[in-house]
Amino acid sequence: MRISFIGAGRVAHHLAHVLSQHHHIIQIYSRSLEPAHTLAAQVGATATVNICEINPEIDLVIIAVSDQAIASVIAEVHQHLADVLMVHTSGSTDIEVLAKNHARAGVFYPLQTFSLDREIPWSDTPLFVEANSEADLVLLTKLAYQLSHRVYQYTSAQRLSLHLAAVFACNFSNYCYDMAKQIVDTQQVDFSLLYPLILETANKAVQHDPKQMQTGPAMRGDQNILNMHQQILDDAQREDLKNVYNLMSQQILQSHHPQ
């Protein structure tokens, strides 16, 4: 397939790299030239900052921009690329945002966290596809199976629920790691001491129900320790950490010791 990208951020970067193993990446469009150039050079494509210069002689356009930019992008290109299948890669944006302006609309959503300088474990990454026509759904499903053995045809509503859950499971758990690092950093204690705990906690959650695996002072209802920890964060004037500590502890407590 001949594939072009609108967007040159982290999702575009990782998708263009893995797709270039089986397909021709033709163009990378981005509002600024440098990221488009960098990615294009890596995957054998050309770069453009003029969205009207996207060559319509292609099989697929992957729109990998911020959610709020998807609607304006499709408004700009739907006439020019009227016959081309166009997909977005967002968890929370409905297919209708494309479909109301473009007949051959689809979704190609990888449920993964994309940081630069990380190899993505593609073969295990769940991919969710959606399309306006059966033919395009077959095409996207086939493309997805080249990347991963976990391909699902989900509705926009199911995808949205997954994305919201992913914010909790990934973005918020990562912020918990970040807060933990801030706490040990102030005592010149090495954050790497927490690595076995972080990995064991994640491994437990993928082998058991996380609620059954909950540990810690709030789960035990150990009010002395809760008070002591709150006092430490108070003394350190870390209102931000204390607010998270209080809210999370209170909810864990209520969840494990209902009235």
85-124: contacts with a second copy (CB under 8 A): 92, 111-115, 118, 120-121, 124
Q: With respect to a second copy, which residue has the nearer C-beta, 82 or 199?
A: 199
Look up residue 226 and give its two tokens: 């809760």
Q: Does 72 participate in binding a second copy (rule CB under 8 A)?
A: no
The 10 Å CB-count burial string (b at 16+, else e) for 107-142 is: bbbbbbebeeeeebebeebbbbbbbbeeebeebbee
Which of these ranges, 21-29, 43-51, 52-60, 176-184, lies near a second copy under the rule CB under 8 A? Answer: 176-184
What gap in Å lies between CA 97 and CA 74, rounded to an integer? 8
> How near is the Cβ of 216 to a second copy at its closest, in Å?
3
**Residues 184-243 interacting with a second copy (rule: CB under 8 A):** 184, 186-187, 189, 191-206, 208-220, 222-225, 228-229, 232-233, 240-241, 243
> How near is the Cβ of 144 to a second copy at its closest, in Å?
14
What gap in Å lies between CA 148 and CA 125, rounded to an integer? 6
Count of alpha carbons within 13 Å of 80, Cβ hemisphere only?
A: 13
Look up residue 144 and give its two tokens: 């997805």
> How near is the Cβ of 20 to a second copy at its closest, in Å?
21
**Residues 24-63 interacting with a second copy (rule: CB under 8 A):** none
Number of residues lying near a second copy (CB under 8 A): 95
